[in-house]
């Protein structure tokens, strides 16, 4: 590989990270319990992505590759941490400041979003996870801004209804 090609690869990757870093960090925060872990997770995923950079054929596939690398890395880390099980008859009380509730919340939100119909799920992900504007979403999906607004509105209403039902079930 020539020096010019290598430099171009580094520059292209650096430009990508500078441009998409904040949105990717938000995704990582949804997978972890705190900001520091999210930064570590994103860093690990970006290292994996850099080594595969030449194999990622489409610029549109880059975010998906990084997200998949984050999910796989987080699952591997979770498995490593949870390999040792100590059975007991007593269930310990959970501390109030326990950060696992954030992971549980992120998991619950992720499952709720995954239950949405495909178009609503994609629109919600682009709007709230990728932080795209309604105009950017409309351009990416090839629909009108009004369609984006109504789709997001219906999706959020469904998520609220589902959350209300879950709260009702939990309290009854």
| Token representation of residue 25 | 């960090």
User: Do 109 and 70 have their domain in common?
Assistant: no
Q: Which element (helix H / strand E) includes 153?
A: helix 145-171
pLDDT of residue 129: 81
Range of the domain at 14: 3-81
Report yes or no on 166 lying in a domain.
yes
The 8-class DSSP code of residue 90 comes to S
pLDDT, tens only, 59-102: 888 988 998 899 888 888 776 765 555 666 666 665 555 555 55
Residue range 121-130: mean pLDDT, rounded:
86
Indicate if 67 and 126 belong to the same structural domain: no
Same domain, 73 and 107: no
User: How many CA atoms within 13 Å lie on the side-chain side of 77?
Assistant: 16
List of residues 6+ apart from 106 with CB closer than 8 A: 30, 31
The CATH number that applies at residue 109 is: 1.10.10.10
| HSE value, Cβ hemisphere, 13 Å, CA-based, for 144 | 3
Asked if residue 96 belongs to a domain, the reply is no
The pLDDT of residue 150: 95
pLDDT digits (tens, 9 = 90+) for 6-65: 557 788 889 999 999 999 998 888 888 788 888 999 999 999 999 888 888 788 889 889
Q: What is the value of pTM for the model shown?
A: 0.46
Residues 75 and 108 in one domain: no
Nearest CA-CA partner of 129 in 46, 66, 50, 76: 66
- In the chain, the number of structural domains is 2
| Residue 29, in any domain of the structure | yes
């Amino acid at each position: 590989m020539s020096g010019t090609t290598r430099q171009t690869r580094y520059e292209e990757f650096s430009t990508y990270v500078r441009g998409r870093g904040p949105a990717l960090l938000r995704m990582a925060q949804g997978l972890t319990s705190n900001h520091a872990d999210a930064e570590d997770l994103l860093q690990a995923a970006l290292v994996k992505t850099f080594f595969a950079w030449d194999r990622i054929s489409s610029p549109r596939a880059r975010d998906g590759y990084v997200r998949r690398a984050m999910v796989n890395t987080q699952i591997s880390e979770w498995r490593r941490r949870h390999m040792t099980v100590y059975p007991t008859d007593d269930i310990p009380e959970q501390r109030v400041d326990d950060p696992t509730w954030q992971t549980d919340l992120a998991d619950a939100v992720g499952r709720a979003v995954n239950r949405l119909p495909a178009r609503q799920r994609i629109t919600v992900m682009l709007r709230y996870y990728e932080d795209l504007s309604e105009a950017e979403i409309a351009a990416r999906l090839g629909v009108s801004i009004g369609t984006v607004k109504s789709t997001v509105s219906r999706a959020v209403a469904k998520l609220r209804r589902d959350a209300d039902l879950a709260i009702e079930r939990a309290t009854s």
